[in-house]
């Protein structure tokens, strides 16, 4: 792919005001699917999480999952939305082999939630209120595997294989209104918004929120308008493109930035933007054109005759409102001040999705900085190495048990890392691993003195230097002792003993 010509980002902003709109799909973690009693489980054998509805089998009928309704209302409330008095389902008709019925049950005229606002905070401390147009319930599609051709991509594939396990998984689609005034922060706003949505659904417990599994997916609409229209609201909007399925926070930021630069380049050269969907390519850091918006988008929506409308009872809405957890932005502000991390340290945790993990670790008695050190250090390293989320490797309680052993002087940091890796490999509890691997610090002075004396005897020149008052020379002896003890010694105690023995063996 030829490298797309891009205008400089700052120059783009001088010429144009970027306007974005975001559509975020959240997969709910109910036990069953939205309209079918099949299990909602990730990672099963293909076509094993199916009931007749998922395959659109003749005679099958959808029945709405009550829990999905509760989750959707909770999410709507957390987005600051009104919950509809009457909300209905509609069929969105289009043919695609990943849909069992060749229509998607969605909501059209009357979504479950509408007119909300989400507060987000940028790294600079800037607060942005993102206006929410609506949040509606719908069902996910199955998955296509393209076989043959080059890289498993759709182009050039010989044939495709369809797995309907994901078909019917409950989704809430959250649609923002156009976001104005983002200016140079626009790409960061897009990522921070999705990050906030992720925190929201995690705090509500309604989604696994694993972006790498597609639990949260983002479509980014980007348009530019010439300078001089600021404050014109919706009355002047440029032609937009919709970049589909951008599925990591970093990619969202990059994709929006790319589109701003690409569109500015075209407009500045006197060209015009084509209204189309675009695809994000992680490898090249570019978007490429997809399907043009056209007559083919005639989805022929009509009220779903197989499902009754919803009239959410006000008592239920109030009950769910009362159960809402703290808003993520407020929570972040609170945690940052409680933990006293630097802005950078805190942002790293947010980006790594570790806030809740740290919070849980602190709750079981680990000092915030210590918790941060372990989760962003050794545990993150192993997680990265194995491509498994940190939180799936080890629990906050297990981390606390290791920290306790360090505090008690049983372990130093180096040994603690070995214990952590032992816990992750399922070797048992921290103390079992210490025992089994013989990892505890040797605090028996007898053994240490023996080693110190041996080292001093082997390096008489160093001993002489120490005696001459060159205390820093002790380092060589300490190193030799630590090596001899295979790390299981307290370096401070060794140092004391070296100085003591050097002085005393004249």
Residues 89-108 that bind another protein (CB under 8 A): 90-91, 93-98, 100-103, 108
Task: Establish if 294 lies at the interface with another protein (CB under 8 A).
Answer: no
Measured from the CB atom, the residue of 305 and 426 that comes closer to another protein is 305
What kind and span of H or E run contains 425? none
Say how far apart CA 167 and CA 27 lie, in whole Å. 11
Measured from the CB atom, the residue of 3 and 153 that comes closer to another protein is 153
Among 141, 174, 200, 358, binds another protein (CB under 8 A): 141
Among 160, 248, 265, 421, binds another protein (CB under 8 A): 160
Task: Establish if 311 lies at the interface with another protein (CB under 8 A).
Answer: yes
Among 19, 24, 69, 211, binds another protein (CB under 8 A): 69
Measured from the CB atom, the residue of 30 and 263 that comes closer to another protein is 30
Q: How many CA atoms lie within 13 A of 105 on its CB side?
A: 27
The residues, any chain, with a CB within 8 Å of residue 98's CB and separated by 6 or more, are 141, 142, 143, 144, 162, 164, 167
Beta carbon of residue 160, minimum distance to another protein (angstroms, whole number): 5
Measured from the CB atom, the residue of 154 and 269 that comes closer to another protein is 154
Say how far apart CA 498 and CA 452 lie, in whole Å. 6
Among 5, 8, 15, 48, binds another protein (CB under 8 A): 48
Among 65, 243, 357, 390, binds another protein (CB under 8 A): 65
Name which of residues 175 to 234 contact another protein (CB under 8 A). Answer: none
Helix axes 378-386, 368-376, angle to 10 degrees: 30
Give all strands of the β-sheet with 90-93 in edge-to-edge order.
Answer: 103-106, 90-93, 302-303
Task: Establish if 46 lies at the interface with another protein (CB under 8 A).
Answer: yes
Measured from the CB atom, the residue of 104 and 176 that comes closer to another protein is 104
- Contact criterion met (CB below 8 Å) for 310 and 90: no
Among 8, 14, 15, 57, binds another protein (CB under 8 A): 57
Task: Establish if 291 lies at the interface with another protein (CB under 8 A).
Answer: yes
- Buried b / exposed e over 318-337, threshold 16 CB at 10 Å, is eebeeeeeebbbebbeebbe
Task: Establish if 344 lies at the interface with another protein (CB under 8 A).
Answer: no
Encoded tokens for 105:
């049950």
Encoded tokens for 341:
């991390």
Q: Which stretch binds another protein (CB under 8 A): 138-146, 177-185, 186-194, 337-345?
A: 138-146
Give the distance between the most distant pair of CA atoms in the chain: 99
Among 136, 166, 244, 336, binds another protein (CB under 8 A): 244
Q: Which stretch binds another protein (CB under 8 A): 11-19, 25-33, 130-138, 444-452?
A: 25-33
Measured from the CB atom, the residue of 232 and 302 that comes closer to another protein is 302
Name which of residues 417 to 476 contact another protein (CB under 8 A). Answer: none
How many residues touch another protein under the rule CB under 8 A: the total is 81
Among 6, 162, 476, 499, binds another protein (CB under 8 A): 162
The residues, any chain, with a CB within 8 Å of residue 502's CB and separated by 6 or more, are 456, 463, 466, 467, 474, 477
Among 6, 9, 67, 229, binds another protein (CB under 8 A): 67
Q: How many residues does the chain have?
A: 506
Task: Establish if 145 lies at the interface with another protein (CB under 8 A).
Answer: yes
Among 6, 51, 454, 484, binds another protein (CB under 8 A): 51
Shortest CA distance to 62 belongs to which of 217, 216, 173, 167?
167
Task: Establish if 42 lies at the interface with another protein (CB under 8 A).
Answer: no
Sole residue written with tokens 């973690």: 29
Measured from the CB atom, the residue of 3 and 66 that comes closer to another protein is 66
Among 1, 154, 234, 269, binds another protein (CB under 8 A): 154
Task: Establish if 111 lies at the interface with another protein (CB under 8 A).
Answer: no
Among 26, 68, 73, 335, binds another protein (CB under 8 A): 68
SS3 376: helix
- Contact criterion met (CB below 8 Å) for 329 and 120: yes
Encoded tokens for 278:
């675009």
| DSSP code string of 285-352 | TEEEEEEEPSGGG----EE-TTSPPB---HHHHHHHHHTPPPPHHHHHHHHHHHHT--HHHHHHHHHT
Say how far apart CA 449 and CA 263 lie, in whole Å. 72
Beta carbon of residue 302, minimum distance to another protein (angstroms, whole number): 6
SS3 132: strand
Beta carbon of residue 409, minimum distance to another protein (angstroms, whole number): 50
Measured from the CB atom, the residue of 105 and 224 that comes closer to another protein is 105
Measured from the CB atom, the residue of 190 and 310 that comes closer to another protein is 310
- CA–chain centroid gap for 115, Å, is 26
Measured from the CB atom, the residue of 309 and 475 that comes closer to another protein is 309
Encoded tokens for 222:
């980007």
């Amino acid at each position: 792919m030829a490298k797309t010509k891009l205008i400089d980002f700052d120059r783009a902003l001088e010429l144009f005001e970027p306007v974005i709109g975001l559509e975020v799909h959240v997969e709910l973690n109910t036990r069953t699917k939205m309209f079918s009693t099949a299990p909602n489980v990730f990672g099963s054998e293909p076509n094993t999480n199916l009931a007749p509805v998922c395959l659109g089998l003749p005679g099958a009928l959808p029945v709405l999952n009550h829990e999905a309704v509760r989750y959707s209302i909770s999410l709507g409330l957390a987005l600051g939305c009104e919950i509809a008095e009457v909300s209905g389902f509609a069929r969105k008709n289009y043919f695609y082999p990943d849909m069992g019925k060749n229509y998607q049950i969605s909501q059209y005229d009357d979504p479950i939630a509408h007119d909300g606002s989400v507060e987000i905070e940028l790294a600079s401390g800037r607060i942005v209120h993102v206006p929410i147009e609506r949040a509606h319930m719908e069902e996910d599609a199955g998955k296509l595997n393209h076989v043959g051709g080059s890289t498993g991509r759709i182009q050039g594939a010989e044939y495709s294989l369809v797995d309907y396990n994901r078909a019917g998984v409950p989704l809430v689609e959250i649609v923002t209104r156009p976001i104005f005034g983002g200016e140079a922060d626009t790409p960061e706003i897009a990522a921070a918004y999705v990050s906030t949505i992720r925190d929201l659904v995690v705090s509500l417990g309604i989604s696994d929120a694993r972006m790498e599994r597609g639990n949260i997916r983002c479509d980014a609409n980007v348009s530019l308008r010439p300078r001089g229209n600021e404050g014109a609201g919706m009355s002047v909007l440029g032609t937009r493109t919709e970049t589909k399925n951008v599925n990591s926070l970093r990619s969202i930021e990059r994709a929006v930035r790319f589109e701003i630069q690409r569109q500015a380049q075209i407009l500045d050269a006197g060209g015009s933007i084509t209204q189309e969907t675009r695809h994000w390519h992680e490898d090249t850091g570019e978007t490429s054109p997809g399907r043009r918006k056209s007559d083919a988008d005639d989805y022929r929506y009509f009220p779903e005759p197989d499902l009754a409308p919803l009239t959410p009872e006000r008592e239920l809405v109030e009950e769910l409102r009362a159960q809402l957890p703290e808003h993520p932005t407020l929570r972040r502000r609170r945690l940052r001040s409680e933990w006293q991390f630097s802005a950078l340290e805190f942002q790293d945790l947010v980006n790594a999705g570790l806030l809740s993990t740290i919070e849980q670790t602190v709750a079981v008695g680990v000092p915030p900085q210590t918790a941060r050190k372990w989760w962003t250090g050794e545990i993150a390293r192993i997680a990265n190495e194995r491509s498994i989320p940190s939180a799936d490797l080890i629990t906050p309680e297990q981390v606390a048990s290791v920290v306790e052993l360090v505090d008690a002087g049983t372990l130093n940091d180096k040994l603690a890392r070995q214990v952590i890796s032992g816990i992750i490999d399922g070797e048992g509890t921290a103390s079992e691993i210490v025992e089994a691997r013989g990892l505890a610090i040797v605090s028996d002075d007898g053994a240490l003195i023996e080693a110190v004396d041996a080292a001093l005897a082997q390096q008489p020149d160093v001993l002489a230097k120490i005696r001459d008052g060159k205390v820093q020379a002790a380092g060589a002896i300490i190193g030799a002792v630590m090596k001899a003890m295979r790390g299981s010694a307290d370096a401070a105690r060794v140092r004391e003993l070296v100085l003591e023995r050097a002085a005393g063996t004249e």
